[in-house]
Amino acid sequence: MARVAVVTGGTRGIGEAISLALRDAGVTVAANYGGSDDKARAFTEKTGIKSYKWNVADHQACLDGCAQVAADLGPIDIVVNNAGITRDGTLMKMSWEAWDEVIRVNLGGCFNMAKATFAGMKERGWGRYVQIGSINGQAGQYGQVNYAAAKSGIHGFTKALAQEGARFGITANAIAPGYIDTDMVAAVPADVLAKIVAKIPVGRLGQANEIARAVAFLTSEDAGFITGSTMSVNGGQHMY
């Protein structure tokens, strides 16, 4: 029987690529989204992947959403915590709301999704968590104290979750993408983007499917001895 995965933010950008990669690997995928119903409907019609709407920052919504996925598709074996937002600004200009919203979605969503699914994985003796962190959670970024803090927190969350899950057959890993050719990066002014690419040793932006392939590996049977790790997929931009 096919494994069942939930990919948060799974209907566009990196999330869409992850959903497709897992589907192509034989996994039954539920793509969570929190935005446009029309876009999610188009995604489902195009891919055949069911989409489910809830806000990952809402704890009860995650519990209810995962219960619905399990009822529709079967017990959840894989969670990919990909959903994320930006509310950029320097510390002096950043509002409390901009700080709080990013922390609740990007980091709080990981906690909420784990709470909704960990017990079932433990009972069945198998599970996979992959959190999508960021190069900016590793190296920091001007004007992103909220985003960098949330993504850095994801890396610590992953290591702690890995320790709790290891003896139950549950792995937890993170991927820290560099600058990927998505709508979010496309919104960066061209002159700024050129300076970013100049700092990437391989000389280009990453592609969403390069992140997706890493997720497909970390959620597979072959990755059972890998847990608590952060995989940097950034073209050599940040090494440590």
Average pLDDT on 97-123 reads 98
Half-sphere exposure of 56 (CA within 13 A, CB side): 29
Indicate which residues carry an active-site annotation: 147
Strand partners, 172: 129
Q: What is the pLDDT of residue 185?
A: 81
Beta strands in the chain (DSSP E): 4-7, 28-33, 50-53, 78-81, 127-132, 170-177, 230-233
Does 100 have pLDDT greater than 90? yes
- Listed in sequence order, the residues at least 6 apart from 203 whose beta carbon sits closer than 8 Å to its beta carbon are 197, 235
pTM for the structure as a whole: 0.95
- Do 100 and 57 touch, CB atoms closer than 8 A? no
Question: What's 233's DSSP letter?
Answer: E
pLDDT tens figures, 132-186: 999 988 999 999 999 999 999 999 999 999 999 999 999 999 999 999 998 878 7
Domains of the chain: 4-233 (3.40.50.720)
Helix, strand, coil fractions of the chain, as percent rounded to 5: 50, 15, 30
pLDDT tens figures, 135-144: 988 999 999 9
- Name the packing angle between helices 108-124 and 145-165 (round to 10°): 10
Confidence of residue 54 (pLDDT cuts 50, 70, 90): very high
Q: What is the pLDDT of residue 188?
A: 83
pLDDT tens figures, 7-18: 999 999 999 999
Q: What is the pLDDT of residue 182?
A: 86
